[in-house]
Amino acid sequence: MAHDPGPAQGGGDDKIAQVLTPDSPTRQDGPQGAAGEGSRPPIQDYSVERVEKVYRKLDLRIIPAFWALYFLSSAIRSNIGIAQTMNTAARHDLAAVLGLSPRDTSTALALFYVSYVLFDLPSNLVMSRLSPRVWMARIVFAVGVTGTCFAAVQDAWSLKLLRFLLGVVTAGMWPGMAYYLTLFYPPSRTGKRIGMYFTASQVSAAVVGLVSAGFQQMDGLGGLVGFRWMFLLYGLCGVILGISLLWWLPDRPLAPGEERTRSWYSKWLPASPEALKGEDALVHYHDLRRVYHARSWNLRDLWNVLIDWRLWPLVMMYFGVVGVGIGTQLYGNLIISAINPNFTGVQISLLFAPIWMMDFCAILLVTPISDRFHRHRAFFFSAAVCIQIAGLLTVTFALSNPWARYGGLLMVGFGLGPTVPICMTWTNEIFQRRHREVGVAAASALVSGLGNLGSIMTTYALYTGWPEDAVKGLHQYRKSNFTMIGILCMSIASSFIMTALLQIFGNEPSQKISSSGSSAVDSNEYLDGAARREAHQRGFNRMWWSKPSKASPDA
């Protein structure tokens, strides 16, 4: 079925009619290509208020769906951590039922990130070639199916196998979401949006902890222990959500005059809903023209991204913060238990949740401001990391006061919140300008994938995986905490090195981009409405307490 964005999207709107041409090409739900080369209208400027209205409509369409899918995927990925302390008094916790040693547990946790690292880049590149909507729905569906299978695990090897497979099917979700956003928003505005749906991970961590108290009450119901009920129900919810996304998520936007031609595989699936219609679609086209006429990339373009030095400081930034984040998510309940061994399993679950509520609050507070001061990403990133370091030092040294140590964990949660969204947003900003669409797809996957080596370290080599930290007492986990402080210091150093190198070498569009006959490689094409506004930092202009200035170029 072809989609005609003319009458169907605006009922013959006069403004759209001005840019429709009889020779307008079609676009498939597959590989993107340059379109409408000779018939592109000149870029028009719209008021900031009009542009903001369009982006708010996109928020309502995209962000709730991303929040829901990330919530369930995070719950399925991390509920193995809380399963370690469920129904321990009845010896119905994960280790007791499956006969796991501490090394088995840490290996199973780490195997997820091994496969995730291996398949992150291929998954994101496939997504950029095929339909982003279909690929995202595929990921969520597969995560749900694999999560459901966890309810049937019987021993260590099946747990390890399923964790590895879960990493395979999850690979590409997080960088894919970041890439997907750049199809609808300029990079300087994605930090807030990434933060909005990233809160799902924090809420998920809190909810998994709180709801696990209920699953513990279901222990023995229907012959299943509590953690099996948890695996089963979360997995089934993921399957249902993955299917429903096909009817809700839009595919990449179409330029005025283009028709969506369905490829061979998409003919068996629901037609893609359009995110914007009528004048809204036209406003978005002129504001973010770069995504509508992106040319197809080739292996040479990909190679230029892979050898760009800008990747490695971002990978090191991500390595530290995601390693500490995953370590806290998977072992936070064990750290709380070590702080006060008298806590019951239910009390630990209830104390685990506020860590992620602090994380949630920090995301909502910091990421919108970091977008408004998008030239100072390193400052916001490093300040948040310093709060994490202070929290870990408190957990390590406040030995005489258990509640002070717990307060340190709350500080860690607050500092964790903004760091990952800021790192991914900075990656989008740098590599979309430098390498266009393939830059975003490849760099976001590499930063996420290679950065998750930090997750492998914290899940396999630290805490229960480190024999020196297995000794019970006040000093338990001290060496692991010191190691996490060390990698956080590396993240801070990397952010400032990145800032200094960008000042020295700049970040102009790469001259190595091979032309395929598309004017998209022309730097003038890249200067759409959003790019012109990005030349000015918004700061605190146009905030609720100030009157908007019509003369201001800031957006």
Which spans in 130-224 are helix H? 132-149, 156-170, 173-181, 190-217
Average pLDDT in the chain: 81
pLDDT at 321 > cutoff 90: yes
Which of 99, 83, 93 shows the shortest CA–CA distance to 230?
83
Average pLDDT over residues 212-217: 79
Question: For residues 75 and 278, what is the distance between their CA atoms, to the nearest angstrom?
Answer: 38
Of 286, 422, 304, 319, the residue nearest 362 (C-alpha): 422
Question: pLDDT of 488-515, one tens digit each?
Answer: 999 999 999 999 999 999 888 776 654 4
Look-up of token digits 């496939």: 126
The confidence band for 236, taking pLDDT boundaries of 50, 70 and 90, is very high
Lowest mean pLDDT, pick from 85-99, 138-152, 430-444 = 85-99
pTM of the model: 0.80
Whole-angstrom distance, CA of residue 509 vs CA of residue 322: 29
Which residues are registered as beta bridge partners of 261?
A: 28
Maximum distance among all Cα pairs of the chain, rounded to whole angstroms: 78
pLDDT at 1 over 50: no
State how far the Cα of 431 lies from the Cα of 313, in Å rounded to an integer.
Answer: 13
What pLDDT is recorded for position 482? Answer: 87
* pLDDT at res. 546: 57
pLDDT in tens, 74-96: 899 888 878 887 777 777 878 88
Given a cut of 80, whether residue 186 has pLDDT beyond it is yes
Residue 99 predicted with pLDDT over 90: no
Residues 513-543 pLDDT 10s: 544 444 444 444 556 767 777 767 676 666 6
471: confidence class by pLDDT, cuts 50, 70, 90? low
CA-based nearest residue to 278, from 50, 63, 45: 50
In 3D space, the residue among 31, 441, 25 whose CA is nearest the CA of residue 263 turns out to be 31
- State pLDDT tens for residues 260-315: 777 777 778 888 888 888 889 889 888 888 888 766 788 898 999 999 999 999 99
- The answer to whether the beta carbons of residues 288 and 534 sit under 8 Å apart is no
- Provide the token pair at 187: 């990079």
Taking the C-alpha atoms of residue 455 and residue 394, their distance in angstroms, rounded to an integer, is: 22
User: pLDDT at residue 442 above 90?
Assistant: yes
Neighbours of 178 (CB within 10 A): 27
Q: In 3-state terms, what secondary structure has residue 185? A: coil
For 518-530, the DSSP string reads -GGGSHHHH--HH
